[in-house]
Structures are given as structure tokens and as C-alpha cells.
């Protein structure tokens, strides 16, 4: 049976939108995204020098996580003999082979950029990386002394022979494979030394005795280089024949059978430990490693040639370069900025009064994240506040928000917090905070079985004039002030009664046995997000048929869900204009005649990580706007608790729509998706429009205006 989407396209003699050629492979689309991140480093002039180095680090850490999670999953399918094709027509082995080809090409580009462009540029700016072998004898002696005092005590050489089993190597570990010869008996040996992650990867030489005369020039040496050139200290009476650097990445996805997990907290803790032992999904080596050592590693780590990546240049694990951002060289970094504080500037510190006056919408990081922190902090100490309910997904390691919740519980307020223990790579932080909250008597909930809670919600109940008033904060991003400075997100503060009713019902469902599903204003996954989005797309189709004015703007991190993609294809066939701002994965193909010719897709990669989700529907001149936590992916629609919340205030709707329009006209930081799924940088034609730069300029103008008003007063 044909769905409505296929009926429409068939009747209009359009191609069948089910065909694989109309979809981009999810995994390859992510690689296209990471290429766009890499381009921020490759292209001189886009960013200051240290910011370019930062993008090398981001690209590299992104790639590590991609292998730990996505490639590991595809490898599992391949090993299980699964031959089923994805919607775009790829089998698991075809995906693995294509990923390998594309990633090797990217790694070559990355290393060429770092070694042949960025390193010389850093040197010209007085930041040098030295090699031990190139130093004079006196400086080598100084480093040997430093090695014996600061590094040698931490190292553990591990032998591999009939009496010593092959040593375990943890995820993301950097290691030296060492070929040795026993000087007494002439017997060849093999050993491994781990480069300790507890020590600085880049050793600052200026702080070491013997290098003080370097003056204003900052000099570094890689930790592994220093270890490699002092291996004789670890193996006395052995002759070091050769040492070879290698690095491995393991499967780090935690699988939890929640029905069998009596204590989810304990189960998550065990899962974190198990990450160290997951199967190896990538083995990075240098081209100089001989076949004998390579085969020994492959055999004992149980990896095939497909998982072995030769990486030239001499340094493995370039994500460590992020530490260079600690250097005090503001001339080599983005210009600092102070975000606007529109709520404080207009209403002062009384955030509750500001919210009572009208809905308050903030666009971070251009607008300060501090009002979100202050909202919780004020509630913790306000004697009229009776309760605080909040969801926490990623909050960071030193969270002022959790500290405020702890103070609120200590003050006797009712505090209920849903802490998502399954927030990948943030589990340890969340376990610590969950226990701290439980210790002071807060009600801590770990979510619904089988579902991650990704929604960003806070409800504060306050007694005012003999009645209870509910205050809401609804957001698109995490309750993390650190990411609030570098991620773009929206925050809505409101006392809207209908929204408050829905949020209260949702909290009851999260904390108790409520099976409430009839949310009146809130869109909630996994209940109705896909259904409601498709209904609003179909409504635009009807408007297009009536008046030709159908228009949809969707901004998100990823677009994967096949049903919604087909609905968008149908809307395009019916003449609806569709603008998509998709930072990362996009499985839809735009601008295909007869299928998506009315769809445009752009991706903005810049100083800030585009993280906000905004769903705008023209609705015949009565626009509707939803913001929230959900991307258009099956996991967000079916396997997570997500919310999309409506924006009712017309000025707020107009503000977001204006910002979306600016993004769609960005010709400095935006990439346009081609019909084949690849991307092209949008040409910088006059007038040049950089959406992030423009929003920064507006924030600066707000600050200037508020200072002027304060001076006038």
C-alpha cells in the first residue's frame, strides 16, 4: 500500500521518494560534517591561528567518538553477518570500506595542514615544538633529569613473552611498542609502555631547568617523544632496537538491559568501566612500524586490516592540541566578547518580576546564560519558593546549578531532579551529582526504562499573594554554563498556564506512574513528535494548494527520520518552500527535480557550535514556532523523552524568524548541500553576511545601549 507521500508524488508523475538514490547515508553524512569542521582549520584567514589549531583538535576528538560509537556499531553488524541494506542502499561492509577510504583521506589533509601550515605558523609566532633528537647535549641532559624526576616514576614497562601475557591496553591509550635485545643472551624481546594520560601530553620546556633562556618563545616537547628517547632507563642491560608509537580506540557504547538492572546507578558505573574493555575498532600506527610488530598487535588486539590506520607525521591523537588554547596569546584567538544581559538590564536582579511582565526569550551565547543560573539560584534562597523540578542531561563537572539545587534541598524545599545517567560520556559527572543530591534529601529520578530523558525543563512553584505561581524555563540546550558560552541555544522563561499544566503532567510521568499522553501545547517524544511535525508539514501543503504561500524553516543538528523526510519531499512536490538549517547529519537530498526542488539545505560551521532547534511554520500568515531539545532522528522521536515547546509571544516569534532568515542568507560561514549529498561553501558575495558575527555585533550594541541608559539614569 502506498502512503500519502508516495500517492502525491506518483499522481504528479514525480520520482518515487522511497528509492535509495534520494537519501544520503547517515554515516557518510556525518563524515561530510566533520570535513566542514576540518575546513575551519584548513583555510587560512577564517580564524586566528590558535582557533585553527582548536578546530584540528575538535575534528580529531569528533572522529574518535565517531569510531567509539558509530563505527563500532556497524562493525558489530558486519561481524554478525548482517547484510541488510540501509535506506540509502549500503550494506555494513560497504559502509565500513567507504568510511575507511574517506577518513584516511581526511587524516592526510589534517596532518598536511598541521605539520606544513600550522606548525610553521606557530613557530613564527613564538610557539615551537621541539624534538629530543634535535636538541644539543646540554638540553638533552636537562630533559633526562626531568624525565627521571617527573616521568619515570609513573611509567610501567610491560613485557610480552611466554611468561607475560599480552598487556591490556585501554581505550584511547597511546602506547610504545618496543623491540629489544637481551645484551647477555642476544634474545629478541617485545615490550609495551603506555604514555600516561595523567601527565601533560605537551610538556612546556620553559618551566624546566636548562631552558629558562628561551625568553618570550614558548617551547614544547611531546611526552611520547621524551619517553621514547629515554627508554634505556626502563630497560637496563637491554638494547633498544626500535620503538613504534600506536594508539587504539575501543567500542565505548554502553548497553544496558534496564529490566535486569536492579540498581541503575551501579549498572552505569560498571558500564563506564567496561568501556576500557570494548573491542578495538581502530588501531592507529605510523608507517614506519614493521610488518612483524603490526601483525603482532593485530593478532593480540584481534583487529583486521580494515581497522588499521597508518597515520604519517609522528604524532597520534591530535585532540590533545586543545591544550594550546590555555596559552595567554589573545592576539592568536577570537576576540573576547561579553554577552548581552537584556533581562538584568531592564528588570535588575528580580528575574521573577521579569517573567511575570512577559515571556523572556534568550539566544545564547549572544545573550548571557547567567539568567538561567540565577533563576535556579534565586529559587534556592527565596523563602516564597516551595519546590523546584528540573531535568539534567549534561551539566558539567563544577555545576553552579546543581549546587543551587543542593542548597534548595538543604533549605527544606521540595526538589525533584531527573538526572539522566545514560548521557553518553557524561555518566561519571552525573553519578557524582546524583549522589550529592540524594545525600541532602532531594528526590532523584533516573528516567524511564528504555528511554533517555533529553528534554530541558525547569518548573519552580512560588507562593505569591495567597496563590501558587509556576515559573518555567524551557530550553534547547543543556543546563551547563560552560557550553552556554560556546553553543547556540534558546531559553524561554514563561508563566503560561497551559504550558505549565503540560510541564507538570510530564514531570508526573517522569517521577511517578502517570500515563498522561494528552499534552495540549507541549509536543513530547516518544508520544507525538513525529505525528505533530508531519501534521504541520501537511498543513503547509494545504496552504500551498490554497494560496501558494506554504513555507517551512527547520533548524536542527540532524535530519535522519525517513518518514519526515518523505513528508518534506511531498511538501516540496506540492510547492511548499522549505529552508533547512542542519548543522550535522542530513539524509535528505535537496534540489532534485521533481522530488526536492523547493528544498534548500545549509550548514553553518563557525566560532560557536550551532545547537538550537527551531521549527517554524508560516501557517497562512499566522506563524507557529516550536523550540526544543529534539532533532529529527528516530532516536529523538522514538527512544528519548524530548519536548518541543510553542512560542506564543509574537515579538519572540518575529525575533527567531528574523534570526533564521539571517542564517539562511549567511554567505561567510554557511555551506550549501548539493543534490548528491556533498557540500559546497557558499560564495562570499557582497554584502558579506556572517550570521554569528552579526549576532555578536547586535549583542555588543545591546550592551552599549544598556550602559547608555544606565548613565542617563
pLDDT digits 0-9 by tens, 217-242: 999 999 999 999 999 999 988 899 99
Instruction: Tell me which residues of the chain have a pLDDT lower than 70.
Output: 1-16, 212-215, 254-277, 421-430, 433, 704-713
Q: Which helix or strand (DSSP H or E) is residue 128 part of? A: strand 127-129
For residue 479, count other CB atoms closer than 10 A to its CB.
27
pLDDT per residue over 270-291, tens digit each?
A: 544 544 567 999 999 999 999 9
Is 624 in a helix, a strand, or coil?
strand
Domain boundaries, the chain: 93-332, 342-516, 524-705
47-48-49-50 Cα dihedral, nearest 10 degrees: -100
164 is catalytic: no
Domains 342-516 and 524-705 belong to one CATH topology: yes
Q: Who contacts 431 (Cβ-Cβ below 8 Å, separation ≥6)?
A: 265, 268, 269, 421
Please state which CATH class domain 524-705 belongs to.
Answer: alpha beta
* Helix extents (H) in 396-528: 400-410, 427-439, 497-511
- 566 near 534, Cβ under 8 Å? no
- For domain 342-516, give the fold: Endonuclease; Chain A (3.30.870)
- C-alpha dihedral (460, 463, 469, 472), degrees to nearest 10: -10
Residues 14, 47, 454, 551: which is the catalytic one?
A: 454
CATH class of the structural domain 93-332: alpha beta
> Is residue 341 within 8 Å of residue 706, measured between CB atoms?
yes
User: What pLDDT does 447 receive?
Assistant: 72
CA distance 9 to 444: 50
Comparing CA positions, the residue from 498, 29, 420, 66 lying closest to residue 249 is 66
280 and 302 Cβ atoms separated by less than 8 Å: yes
Pairing of strands 679-681, 157-159: unpaired
pLDDT given at position 513: 74
Cβ atoms 34, 105 nearer than 8 A: no
Amino acid at each position: 500500500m502506498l502512503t500519502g507521500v508516495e500517492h502525491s508524488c506518483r499522481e504528479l508523475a514525480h520520482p518515487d521518494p522511497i528509492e535509495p538514490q534520494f537519501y544520503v547515508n547517515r554515516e557518510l553524512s556525518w563524515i561530510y560534517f566533520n570535513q566542514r569542521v576540518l575546513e575551519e582549520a584548513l583555510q587560512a584567514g577564517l580564524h586566528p591561528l590558535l582557533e585553527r589549531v582548536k578546530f584540528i583538535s575538535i575534528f580529531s576528538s569528533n572522529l574518535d567518538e565517531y569510531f567509539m560509537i558509530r563505527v563500532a556499531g556497524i562493525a558489530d553488524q558486519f561481524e554478525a553477518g548482517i547484510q541488510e541494506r540501509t535506506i540509502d542502499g549500503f550494506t555494513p561492509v560497504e559502509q565500513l570500506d567507504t568510511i575507511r577510504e574517506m577518513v584516511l583521506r581526511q587524516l592526510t589533509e589534517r596532518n598536511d595542514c598541521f605539520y606544513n601550515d600550522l606548525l610553521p605558523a606557530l613557530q613564527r609566532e613564538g610557539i615551537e615544538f621541539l624534538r629530543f633528537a634535535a636538541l644539543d647535549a646540554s638540553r638533552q641532559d636537562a630533559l633526562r633529569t626531568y624525565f627521571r624526576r617527573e616521568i619515570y616514576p609513573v611509567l610501567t614497562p610491560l613485557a610480552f613473552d611466554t611468561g607475560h601475557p599480552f598487556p591490556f591496553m585501554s581505550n584511547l591509550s597511546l602506547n610504545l611498542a618496543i623491540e629489544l635485545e637481551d645484551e647477555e643472551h642476544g634474545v629478541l624481546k617485545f615490550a609495551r609502555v603506555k604514555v600516561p594520560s595523567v601527565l601533560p601530553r605537551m610538556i612546556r620546556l620553559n618551566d624546566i631547568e636548562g631552558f629558562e633562556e628561551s625568553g618570550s618563545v614558548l617551547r614544547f616537547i611531546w611526552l611520547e617523544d621524551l619517553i621514547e628517547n629515554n627508554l634505556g632507563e626502563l630497560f637496563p642491560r637491554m638494547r633498544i632496537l626500535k620503538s613504534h608509537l600506536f594508539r587504539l580506540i575501543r567500542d565505548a557504547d554502553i548497553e544496558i538491559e534496564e529490566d535486569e538492572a536492579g540498581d541503575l546507578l551501579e549498572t552505569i558505573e560498571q558500564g563506564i568501566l567496561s568501556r576500557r574493555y570494548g573491542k578495538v575498532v581502530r588501531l592507529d600506527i605510523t608507517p614506519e612500524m614493521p610488518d612483524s610488530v603490526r601483525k603482532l598487535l593485530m593478532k593480540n588486539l584481534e583487529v583486521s586490516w580494515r581497522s588499521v590506520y597508518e597515520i604519517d607525521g609522528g604524532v597520534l591523537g591530535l585532540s590533545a592540541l586543545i591544550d594550546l588554547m590555555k596559552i595567554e596569546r589573545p592576539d592568536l584567538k577570537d576576540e573576547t566578547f561579553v554577552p548581552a544581559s537584556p533581562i538584568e538590564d531592564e528588570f535588575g536582579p528580580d528575574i521573577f518580576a521579569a517573567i511575570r511582565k512577559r515571556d523572556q526569550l534568550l539566544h545564547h551565547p549572544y545573550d548571557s546564560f547567567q539568567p538561567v543560573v540565577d533563576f535556579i539560584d534565586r529559587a534556592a534562597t527565596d523563602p516564597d519558593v516551595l519546590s523546584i523540578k528540573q531535568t539534567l542531561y549534561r551539566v558539567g563537572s563544577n555545576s553552579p546549578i546543581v549546587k543551587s539545587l543542593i542548597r534548595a534541598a538543604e533549605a527544606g524545599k521540595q526538589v525533584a531532579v531527573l538526572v539522566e545517567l545514560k548521557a553518553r560520556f557524561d555518566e561519571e559527572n552525573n553519578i557524582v551529582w546524583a549522589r550529592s543530591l540524594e545525600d541532602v534529601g532531594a528526590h532523584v529520578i533516573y528516567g524511564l526504562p528504555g528511554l533517555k530523558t533529553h528534554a530541558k525543563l525547569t518548573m519552580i512553584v512560588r507562593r505569591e499573594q495567597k496563590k501558587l505561581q509556576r515559573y518555567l524555563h524551557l530550553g534547547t540546550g543543556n543546563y551547563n554554563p560552560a557550553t552556554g558560552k560556546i553553543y547556540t541555544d534558546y531559553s524561554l522563561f514563561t508563566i503560561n498556564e497551559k504550558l505549565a499544566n503540560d510541564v507538570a503532567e510530564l514531570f508526573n510521568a517522569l517521577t511517578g506512574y502517570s500515563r498522561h499522553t494528552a499534552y495540549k501545547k507541549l509536543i513530547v517524544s516518544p508520544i507525538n513528535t513525529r505525528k505533530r511535525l508531519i501534521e504541520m508539514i501537511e498543513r503547509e501543503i494545504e496552504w500551498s494548494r490554497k494560496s501558494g504561500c506554504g513555507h517551512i524553516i527547520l533548524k536542527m543538528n540532524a535530519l535522519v527520520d525517513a518518514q519526515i523526510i518523505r513528508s518534506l519531499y511531498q511538501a516540496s512536490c506540492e510547492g511548499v518552500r522549505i529552508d533547512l538549517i542542519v548543522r550535522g547529519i542530513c539524509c535528505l537530498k535537496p534540489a532534485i527535480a521533481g522530488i526536492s526542488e523547493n528544498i534548500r539545505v545549509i550548514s553553518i560551521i563557525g566560532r560557536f557550535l550551532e545547537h538550537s532547534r527551531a521549527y517554524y511554520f508560516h501557517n497562512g500568515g499566522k506563524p507557529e514556532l516550536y523550540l526544543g531539545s529534539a532533532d529529527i532522528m528516530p532516536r529523538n522521536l522514538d527512544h528519548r523523552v524530548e519536548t518541543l515547546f510553542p512560542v506564543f509571544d509574537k515579538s519572540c516569534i518575529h525575533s527567531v524568524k528574523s534570526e533564521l532568515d539571517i542564517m539562511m542568507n549567511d554567505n561567510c560561514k554557511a555551506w550549501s548541500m548539493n543534490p548528491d549529498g556533498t557540500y559546497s561553501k557558499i560564495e562570499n558575495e557582497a554584502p558579506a553576511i556572517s550570521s554569528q558575527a552579526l549576532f555578536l555585533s547586535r549583542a555588543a550594541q545591546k550592551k552599549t545601549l544598556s550602559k547608555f541608559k544606565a548613565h542617563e539614569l
